[in-house]
């Protein structure tokens, strides 16, 4: 650019100089004509027409030369412009990453840029003049020819993609070919601009596959899945399982809220749904009654996760029908309750003894206090002791009543950290009197420093009472002097706490061993055969297990394993 400006400046200056020279000559002629006096007989006087003519001719010539110079300069500038433009164009074409190729209707290459040569790993001389079809794999010839035909027919650009193999690697190319048409509307050649889109293609392919997978999971999932927009609680999509389960078509569901579809069973549930939407919190295993068409009520367990979908937060709600499970749970709860009552029935002697004993002691102590008060100088120390005993016995009696009440009362499973040894002590206390009555010596061997377990106190106590009562039953045939029952606690690995009830009773026959945990299996005349089945289901509901084995020296041992409380 500097060069152009300098040269232009110089040329302008020389043109200006010539104009000045012509003007000067003309001026000199005129001046001379003016200055010369007629007396001197000047040239002007003598040849005024000649001088004026010459001056005029010089002026005209100068003007012509000037015009020619200006024209030449303009042409030069235009040529420079074209040359620069060409250079710039070539530079742009050569330095860009996109591949540029020109070819004739018979596919002969007339021009390729560096990127094109680099991409195909061939020198320009090898490509230009050759047919580009030759560079394509055979199976793509038909597509390329079809493209040519289309362009000739429509004179429109032809965008297309294809995959080629270079050095054993799959390369995805994106091309836009278009016809280059001259002023008469005839196709001179074709220009093709292409780029390597392998990376984008792989990413798109991965995305497509992932979308396909996810939509497969969504469509094929056995769980009913609905997607609910958080802002207005409307369904955005539902899967076929959802349609089947709720007996509502996708078209009807999309755009409606569960309330509008009549799925929400109660006002309270509707309120909960609103609060849940507003909170934006994810839920796991949330149990909710749902109305189905025809007035059927089902219980659903719902897992809701809030995720952004299509730029707006949506809940993905996965529902599974837990009606049967809930009914079974309720039935199990009722059975657990019934067996607890049965256990209590068996323990009435113990319970009445446990209550009567402190009550009797309270009565005795009260009578003794009365006698003491009748004396002139009652011993205050003795009276204080009597009152302390009364308070202790009262607490003992009310403890027993409390325990009985919890066993009798209907009760939802409540998990809490528990000290197993403490719980075993309570259970043993409840059967102690019965053991005494039946001549059973009950001993306990507790491991110290046991970690806490996590469980429902009432249910675990129920399992222990059941095992203790069964053991006492098994000891019935053993001579009175030899009836032994041992309750142990121990740590089992890092994760478990084990408690066992060992007796030296009749043990289990091979047939009994197979079936003792089956519901309604009993070998007792008055037995219900539910105690062990329920005890095992309670153990499993706690993430533990209950097993039984015969002892080498006779009798049986039942082991209850419970997981350590996880802090």
Minimum separation from the CB atom of position 453 to ligand ADP (A): 22
- Secondary structure (DSSP) of 507-557: ---HHHHHHTTSTT---STT--S-HHHHHHHHHHHTT-EEEEEE-TTSSEE
Minimum separation from the CB atom of position 325 to ligand ADP (A): 23
Q: Which is nearer to ligand ADP, 233 or 531 (CB)?
A: 531
- Secondary structure (DSSP) of 448-481: SSPPPEEE-HHHHHHHHHHHHHHHHHHTTTS-GG
Q: Are 427 and 463 in contact, with CB atoms under 8 Å apart?
A: no
What is the rounded (10 degree) CA torsion for 393, 397, 399, 405? Answer: -170
Among the listed ranges 58-66, 132-140, 300-308, 515-523, the one in contact with ligand ADP (CB under 6 A) is 515-523
Minimum separation from the CB atom of position 213 to ligand ADP (A): 48
Residue nearest to ligand ADP (CB): 531
What is the rounded (10 degree) CA torsion for 166, 170, 176, 180? Answer: 20
Minimum separation from the CB atom of position 554 to ligand ADP (A): 10
* Member of 72, 88, 244, 524 binding ligand ADP (CB under 6 A): 524
Positions 473 through 492 that interact with ligand ADP (CB under 6 A): 474
DSSP 184: T
The answer to whether 523 contacts ligand ADP (rule: CB under 6 A) is yes
Positions 540 through 559 that interact with ligand ADP (CB under 6 A): 556
Run of H or E residues at 12: helix 2-35
Q: Which is nearer to ligand ADP, 262 or 527 (CB)?
A: 527
Q: Which is nearer to ligand ADP, 89 or 520 (CB)?
A: 520
Minimum separation from the CB atom of position 509 to ligand ADP (A): 8
The answer to whether 531 contacts ligand ADP (rule: CB under 6 A) is yes
Q: Which is nearer to ligand ADP, 107 or 466 (CB)?
A: 466
Positions 251 through 310 that interact with ligand ADP (CB under 6 A): none
Question: Which residues is 302 bridged to in the sheet?
Answer: 286, 319
The answer to whether 359 contacts ligand ADP (rule: CB under 6 A) is no
* Member of 505, 537, 561, 564 binding ligand ADP (CB under 6 A): 505
Minimum separation from the CB atom of position 224 to ligand ADP (A): 38
Minimum separation from the CB atom of position 347 to ligand ADP (A): 14
Minimum separation from the CB atom of position 549 to ligand ADP (A): 10
Helical ranges in 247-347 per DSSP H: 250-253, 267-279, 323-346
Q: How many CB atoms lie within 10 A of CB 103?
A: 23
Minimum separation from the CB atom of position 229 to ligand ADP (A): 52
Q: Which is nearer to ligand ADP, 258 or 507 (CB)?
A: 507
Euclidean distance between CA atoms 442 and 435, whole angstroms: 7
Q: Which is nearer to ligand ADP, 346 or 393 (CB)?
A: 346
* Member of 503, 537, 539, 561 binding ligand ADP (CB under 6 A): 503
Minimum separation from the CB atom of position 518 to ligand ADP (A): 8
Q: Which is nearer to ligand ADP, 450 or 516 (CB)?
A: 516
Minimum separation from the CB atom of position 548 to ligand ADP (A): 7
Among the listed ranges 56-64, 208-216, 260-268, 518-526, the one in contact with ligand ADP (CB under 6 A) is 518-526
Positions 417 through 476 that interact with ligand ADP (CB under 6 A): 466, 470-471, 474
* Member of 240, 262, 451, 527 binding ligand ADP (CB under 6 A): 527
What is the rounded (10 degree) CA torsion for 550, 552, 554, 556? Answer: -30
* Member of 130, 309, 404, 528 binding ligand ADP (CB under 6 A): 528
Among the listed ranges 309-317, 327-335, 452-460, 520-528, the one in contact with ligand ADP (CB under 6 A) is 520-528
Among positive and negative, which fits the CA dihedral 431, 433, 434, 436?
Answer: positive
Helix axes 348-374, 323-346, angle to 10 degrees: 50
Angle at 269 between CA 264 and CA 270, to 5 degrees: 70
Among the listed ranges 10-18, 107-115, 250-258, 501-509, the one in contact with ligand ADP (CB under 6 A) is 501-509
Question: HEC profile for 47-99?
Answer: CHHHHHHHHHHHHHHHHHHHHHHHHHHHHHHHHHHHHHHHHHHHHHHHHCCCE
Q: Are 343 and 462 in contact, with CB atoms under 8 Å apart?
A: yes
Q: Which is nearer to ligand ADP, 365 or 500 (CB)?
A: 500
Euclidean distance between CA atoms 100 and 86, whole angstroms: 16
Count of alpha carbons within 13 angstroms of residue 103, beta-carbon side: 25
Euclidean distance between CA atoms 193 and 119, whole angstroms: 13
Euclidean distance between CA atoms 130 and 106, whole angstroms: 10
Residues near ligand ADP (CB under 6 A):
466, 470-471, 474, 503, 505-508, 512, 516, 521-524, 527-533, 556
């Amino acid at each position: 650019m500097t060069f152009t400006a300098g040269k232009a400046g110089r040329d302008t200056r020389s043109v200006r100089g010539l104009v000045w020279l012509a003007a000067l000559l003309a001026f000199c002629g005129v001046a001379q004509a003016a200055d010369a006096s007629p007396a001197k007989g000047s040239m002007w006087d003598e040849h005024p027409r000649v001088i004026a003519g010459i001056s005029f001719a010089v002026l005209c010539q100068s003007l012509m030369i000037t015009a020619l110079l200006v024209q030449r300069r303009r042409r030069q500038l235009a040529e420079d412009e074209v040359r620069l433009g060409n250079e710039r164009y070539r530079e742009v074409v050569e330095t860009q990453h996109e591949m540029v190729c020109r070819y004739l209707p018979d596919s002969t290459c007339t021009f390729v840029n560096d990127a094109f040569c680099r991409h195909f790993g061939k020198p320009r001389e090898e490509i230009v003049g050759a047919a580009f079809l030759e560079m394509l794999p055979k199976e793509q010839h038909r597509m390329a020819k079809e493209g040519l035909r289309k362009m000739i027919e429509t004179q429109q650009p032809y965008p297309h993609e294809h995959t080629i193999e270079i050095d054993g690697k799959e390369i995805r190319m994106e091309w836009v070919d278009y016809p280059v048409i001259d002023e008469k509307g005839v196709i001179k050649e074709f220009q093709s601009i292409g780029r390597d889109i392998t990376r984008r293609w792989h990413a798109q392919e991965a995305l497509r596959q992932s979308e396909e997978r996810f939509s497969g999971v969504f469509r094929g999932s056995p769980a009913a899945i609905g997607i609910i927009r958080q802002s207005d609680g409307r369904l955005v999509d539902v899967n076929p399982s959802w349609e089947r389960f709720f007996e509502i078509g996708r078209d009807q569901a999309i755009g409606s809220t569960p309330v509008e579809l009549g799925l929400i069973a109660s006002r309270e549930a509707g309120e909960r749904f609103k609060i849940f939407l507003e909170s934006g919190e994810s839920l796991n295993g949330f149990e909710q009654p749902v109305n189905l068409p025809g007035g059927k009520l089902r219980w659903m367990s719902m897992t809701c996760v809030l995720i952004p979908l299509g730029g707006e937060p949506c809940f993905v709600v996965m529902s599974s029908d837990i009606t049967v499970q809930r009914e079974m749970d309720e039935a199990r709860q009722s059975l657990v309750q019934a067996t607890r009552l049965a256990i209590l029935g068996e323990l009435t002697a113990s319970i009445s003894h446990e209550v009567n004993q402190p009550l009797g002691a309270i009565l005795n102590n009260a009578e003794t206090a009365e006698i003491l008060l009748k004396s002139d100088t009652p011993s205050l120390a003795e009276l204080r002791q009597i009152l302390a005993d009364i308070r202790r016995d009262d607490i003992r009696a009310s403890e027993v009543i409390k325990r009985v009440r919890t066993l009798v009362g209907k009760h939802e499973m409540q998990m809490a950290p528990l000290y197993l040894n403490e719980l075993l002590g309570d259970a043993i206390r409840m059967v102690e009197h019965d053991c005494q009555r039946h001549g059973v010596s009950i001993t306990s061997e507790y491991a110290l420093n046991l970690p806490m377990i996590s469980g429902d106190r009432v249910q675990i106590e129920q399992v222990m009472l059941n095992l203790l009562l069964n053991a006492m039953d098994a000891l019935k045939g053993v001579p009175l002097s030899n009836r032994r029952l041992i309750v142990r606690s121990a740590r089992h690995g890092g994760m478990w706490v084990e408690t066992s009830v060992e007796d030296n009773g009749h043990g289990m026959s091979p047939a009994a061993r197979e079936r003792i945990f089956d519901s309604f299996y009993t070998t007792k005349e008055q037995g219900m055969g539910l105690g062990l089945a329920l005890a095992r289901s309670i153990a499993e509901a706690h993430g533990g297990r209950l097993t039984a084995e015969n002892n080498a020296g006779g009798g049986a041992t039942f082991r209850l394993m419970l997981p350590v409380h996880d802090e």
